[in-house]
């Protein structure tokens, strides 16, 4: 386990989700996805995502907030393409673990992944 983030398989509990560690990067999320098998899980954030990514709350330093926003956006894109499930587990009041769960790859999964990557490329060019 590195940096408090937990990579698990379907038979393992999600443990040790520490918030004081550096957040996971978009690259780490994509690397996990590239090697994940159906049922593998990755806790990609712990906190209250909607508040933590808001530029109005000042909960995170701006570089970390932007990095978390990119991770959340990428997880959503992968979920909308049918490549992962995104779920939450309540840790405490106003604190959740945000978890990506790898899905079975559809027969045309490379097309779905290509769609996600093209969308990310368009976003990167517009910023």
CATH number for the domain that contains residue 43: 1.10.10
Q: Is residue 5 part of a domain?
A: no
Structure tokens of 94?
Answer: 């106003």
- SS3 label, residue 29: helix
Report the C-alpha gap between 16 and 2 in whole angstroms.
11
Q: Is residue 32 part of a domain?
A: yes
Pairing of strands 41-47, 7-8: antiparallel
Q: Which of 78, 74, 76, 81 lies closest to 108 in space, CA to CA?
A: 81
Write down the pLDDT at residue 105. 80
For residues 117, 118, 121 and 125, what is the CA-based torsion angle, rounded to 10 degrees?
-170
Q: What is the total count of domains within the chain?
A: 1
Write down the pLDDT at residue 125. 58
Q: Is residue 68 part of a domain?
A: yes
Q: Is residue 90 part of a domain?
A: yes
Q: Is residue 7 part of a domain?
A: no
Structural domain that includes position 29: 20-126
Per-residue pLDDT of 10-31, as tens digits, reads 444 444 433 335 478 999 999 8
Q: Is residue 49 part of a domain?
A: yes
Q: Is residue 58 part of a domain?
A: yes
Per-residue pLDDT of 62-117, as tens digits, reads 999 999 999 999 999 999 989 999 999 999 999 999 999 999 887 765 666 666 66
User: Residue 7: how many CA atoms within 13 Å on its side-chain side?
Assistant: 14
């Amino acid at each position: 386990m590195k940096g408090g983030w937990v990579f698990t398989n379907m038979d393992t509990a999600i443990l040790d989700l520490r918030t004081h560690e550096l957040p996971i990067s978009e690259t780490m999320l994509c690397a996990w996805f590239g090697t994940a098998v159906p049922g593998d899980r990755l806790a990609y954030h712990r906190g209250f995502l909607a508040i933590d990514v808001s530029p109005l709350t000042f909960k995170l330093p701006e570089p970390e907030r932007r990095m978390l926003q990119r991770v959340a956006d990428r997880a959503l894109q992968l979920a909308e393409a049918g490549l992962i499930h995104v779920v939450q587990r309540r840790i405490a009041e106003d604190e959740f673990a945000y978890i990506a769960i790898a899905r079975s790859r559809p027969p045309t999964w490379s097309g779905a992944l290509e769609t996600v990557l093209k969308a990310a490329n368009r976003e990167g060019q517009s910023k």
